DNA sequence: TAACGTTTGTTATAATATAACATATTTTAG
DNA sequence: CTAAAATATGTTATATTATAACAAACGTTA
């Protein structure tokens, strides 16, 4: 069972914004959104993000330098993340597919490297953008 | 069969540096390396990189903002890339595993999204770094 | 309450990437 | 061959993303 974790003030503020967002948020857009709450500097955002990522509550979409809330509560997804990304509208969806996750977690490189973690990003066109 | 492609002067210079490098290179490190060859501005590097990536000769390691030469000549890997990354020494290795590639290329998201491309990054400790 | 680790606030700066515009070069088509 | 179009280059400036460094406050524990 996953440990219930307590977060600090800034961490809660950042998590809240990211969870309420419809899509991935950039760090500076988070900053802009929380300036009324007394957070003034990028450091404060990046520090909160670091902790939240470590805790698995937030993931970074590496190809976009943006951040999304984890959809899979109580799972170890921060070590096994997969996303689908629409190249047109940029919508991002976290993929939770047990088979895929198991397949990749078992995958081992020939060169003797044992993997601790992976991140997979799929790109394409979402349903809506295909129609247009 | 893959088309033999001709590259422009700057593109060849950048490709050459990246191919000769032992590991991933950052854009500004490429820039530094080619200043004696008359390339002076980041734009010139990024433009060359864009073309080379499109051509599948170079891949971007998204989690590191760095660039590596493609190991798999004559294949369509730019649409199906996988890398192993050592978290200690940061060595990067392009994975060419037909099964893995097929498995992921066939993978389709439930939400009706058809994927065109994916990028997978595995993290762990390489052989050398495990011993230390 | 003292010591320690964590979080915060703040200023400054580093690192990564793109915009915009003027030229030059190469390719294509009439 | 030659005008037009497409591609590539050079250059300056700027935008975006991320970290360094340091001082102060807070929270926990011994
Ligand atoms: Zn998740
Ligand atoms: Zn879309
Ligand atoms: Zn490749
Ligand atoms: Zn290593």
Q: Please tell me the pTM assigned to this model.
A: 0.94
Q: How far is CA A112 from CA A41, A115, A116, B4, in A?
A: 43, 10, 13, 34
**% of chain A exceeding 90 in pLDDT:** 77
Classified by CATH at the fold level, domain B9-131 comes out as Arc Repressor Mutant, subunit A (1.10.10)
In the 83-112 segment of chain A, residues within 7 Å (Cβ) of strand C are none
pLDDT per residue as tens digits for the range A86-132: 998 999 999 999 999 999 999 988 788 889 999 999 999 999 888 76
Locate A75 and state its tokens: 């799972």
Return d(Cα A31, Cα B89) in angstroms, integer.
33
CB within 8 Å: B111 and A93: yes
Locate A32 and state its tokens: 């802009």
With contacts defined as CB-CB under 8 Å, which chain A residues touch B85? none
Neighbours of ion ligand 1 (CB under 5 A): A 70, 72, 77
| Three-state DSSP class for residue A116 | strand
B89 close to A (CB below 8 A): no
Q: What is the pLDDT along chain B (132 residues), one digit of tens a residue?
A: 345 678 999 999 999 999 999 999 999 999 999 999 999 999 999 999 999 999 999 999 999 999 999 998 755 667 899 999 999 898 999 999 999 999 999 998 778 888 999 999 999 999 988 876
Predicted local confidence at residue A62, as pLDDT: 98
Return d(Cα A94, Cα A5) in angstroms, integer.
22
């Amino acid at each position: 069972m996953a440990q219930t974790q307590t977060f600090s003030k800034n961490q809660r503020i950042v998590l809240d914004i990211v969870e309420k967002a419809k899509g991935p948020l950039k760090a500076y857009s988070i900053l802009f959104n929380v300036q009324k709450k007394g957070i003034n500097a990028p450091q404060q955002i990046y520090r909160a993000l670091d902790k939240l990522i470590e805790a698995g509550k937030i993931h970074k979409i590496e190809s976009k330098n943006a951040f999304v809330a984890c959809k899979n509560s109580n799972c170890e997804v921060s070590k096994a993340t997969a996303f689908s990304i629409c190249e047109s509208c940029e919508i991002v969806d976290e993929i939770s597919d047990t088979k895929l996750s198991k397949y990749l977690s078992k995958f081992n490189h020939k060169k003797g490297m044992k993997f601790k973690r992976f991140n997979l990003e799929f790109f394409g066109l979402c349903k809506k953008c295909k129609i247009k």
